[in-house]
């Protein structure tokens, strides 16, 4: 068999590989998106916790020497 006779088989094999790689890429992108969303939620939670902590610190005795070095 010549290369031309194998050409349709090669094309089909390449198309299958392209589909496989495209599927892998989509899965990787979805995983990365999920990871980013998770990180964004963690950041939001940390910011919320930070704001609560700032409010607690503001409510403490301002004459406390430890607090005099904090800038809020």
pLDDT of residue 34: 97
Question: pLDDT at residue 69 above 70?
Answer: yes
Contact 7, 15 (CB under 8 A): no
Q: Kindly report, residue by residue over 34-53, the tens digit of the pLDDT.
A: 999 999 999 999 999 999 99
pLDDT of residue 44: 98
What is the residue-averaged pLDDT of the chain? 90
Mean pLDDT on 10-33: 97
Contact 8, 15 (CB under 8 A): no
């Amino acid at each position: 068999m010549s290369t031309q006779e194998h050409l349709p088989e090669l094309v089909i094999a390449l198309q299958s590989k392209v589909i496989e790689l495209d599927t892998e890429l989509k899965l990787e992108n979805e995983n990365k998106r999920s990871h980013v969303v998770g990180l964004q939620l963690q950041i939001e939670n940390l910011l919320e916790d930070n704001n609560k902590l700032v409010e607690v610190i503001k409510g403490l005795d301002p004459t406390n020497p430890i607090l005099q070095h904090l800038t809020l």
